[in-house]
Amino acid sequence: MIQVRGVTKRYGRVTAVEDLSFDVPDGRVTGFLGPNGSGKSTTMRIIVGLDRPDAGSALVDGRPYRDLPWPLREVGALLDARGFHPGRSARRHLQALARAGGLPASRVEEVLDLVGLGAVADRRAGTFSLGMGQRLGIAAALLGDPPTLLFDEPVNGLDPEGIRWVRTLLRRLAAEGRCVLVSSHLLAEMALTADHLVVVGRGRLVAETSMAAFLEQYAPARVRVASPEVDRLARAVLGAGGRVEPAGEGRIVVSGLHAAAIGELAHAEGVVLHELSPDQAGLEEAFLQTTAQAAEYRGGAA
């Protein structure tokens, strides 16, 4: 359980985070969502005691990070993709961390295997690809088998296979009852991973809600539909109160109805569907507009 309470952080005259409060519960993946530069990384560094807030506090299981008796056994964090010396091997890097954290040396081999770096563990980490570097960072975060985990943009620079691996890992960690906070600037990525959302814009809280509720509230109900009998389906959609735009041969874009409702209509009408997909690009756009508006509105009021 992470509790952020009224945190404000300024760098000179720039306010990176302003009066930010939210909770990160156990047993769920909490997405920390916001455009680049909205204060996500700063907040994460404050949670683990690397940066000092100008006001407010951040607690992990009720205590400031600095007061944790066994920090690595309690919190794991991936903060940047290149948090290691390029001349040091992955194994030595993890061994040093294990020694500092009072962890048995066998843990190093366990996490190396877990992230799939066992075969390259003795290579200089500077020769690693971005994806391997991320895996090393994840190995370091998992070293102490901690109940609380923070990942700052963990899928940045990963290939599709790596992205899927991270997604699965995050969900698994949460399913084991751990508290997992993952930042991203991509709503579509979060939609696939997170159950709970903390949305920030310009350092301020925009929303703290469940993923489903957020999508319900902010996503435009635009759904792409393809069907060999698209005209018959369009009539049914109009009859159910939806709006239809043609989108080429055998395709329409429906607004005002959710994908599930359209699927049920198609079933009732006996129409075959070839595609039924919520408009992700539109989702991303709506999210960016929402965060920008929220931030400007509050910025203007201040």
Partner 1 sequence: MNGPARSDGLLTGALRDAAGRRRAASPPSLGERLGRALAAEWTKFWSVRSTVVALSATVVLSLAIDALATATEAAHWHQQAPFSRLTFDPTSLSLTGLLFGQLALGVLGVLVVSAEHGTGTIRGTYLAVPQRWLVLVAKALVFGFVALVVGEVCAFAAFFLGQAILHGTTPTATLAQPGVLRAVAGGGLYLCVLGLLALGIGACVRHSAGAISTFVGVLFVLPLIDQALPSGLRDTAAKFLPATIGAAMTAVRLTPEQAGEAFSPWVGFGLLCAYAVAVGLLAAWLAERRDA
Per CB under 8 A, does 55 bind partner 1?
no
Size of the site for partner 1 (CB under 8 A): 52
Complete DSSP assignment for 95-113: HHHHHHTT--THHHHHHHH
Give residues 12-41 in contact with partner 1 (rule: CB under 8 A).
26
The window from 48-56, 188-196, 257-265, 268-276 that contacts partner 1 (CB under 8 A) reads: 48-56
How many angstroms separate the Cα of 224 from the Cα of each of 30, 268, 277? 28, 19, 5
Q: How far is the CB of 100 from partner 1 (least distance, A)?
A: 4
Tokens representing 203?
């350092």
Selected binder of partner 1 within 6, 55, 63, 86 (CB under 8 A): 86
Helix (H) or strand (E) holding 264: helix 259-269
Considering the complex, state which of residue 177 and residue 228 has its C-beta at the smaller distance from partner 1: 177
Residue 168 in contact with partner 1, rule: CB under 8 A: no
Our CB check for partner 1 shows the closer of 125 and 197 to be 125
- Per-residue x/- track, 112-141, partner 1 (CB under 8 A): --x-------------------------x-
Beta carbons of 75 and 38 less than 8 angstroms apart: no
Contact call for residue 68 and partner 1 (CB under 8 A): yes
| Residue number with CB closer to partner 1 (79 or 257) | 79
Q: ∠ CA(180), CA(183), CA(184), 5° rounding?
A: 140
Q: Is 154 in the site for partner 1 (CB under 8 A)?
A: no
CA–CA dist 295, 302 (Å, integer): 11
Comparing CA positions, the residue from 64, 208, 83 lying closest to residue 153 is 83
Provide φ and ψ at 152, rounded to 5°: -95, 110
Element containing residue 89 per DSSP (H, E): none
DSSP bridge partners of 179: 148
Among 33, 77, 190, 295, binds partner 1 (CB under 8 A): 77
The answer to the question of residue 166 lying near partner 1 (CB under 8 A) is no
Compose the 97-116 pattern: x for residues touching partner 1 by CB under 8 A, - for all others.
Answer: x-xxxxxx-xx--x---x--
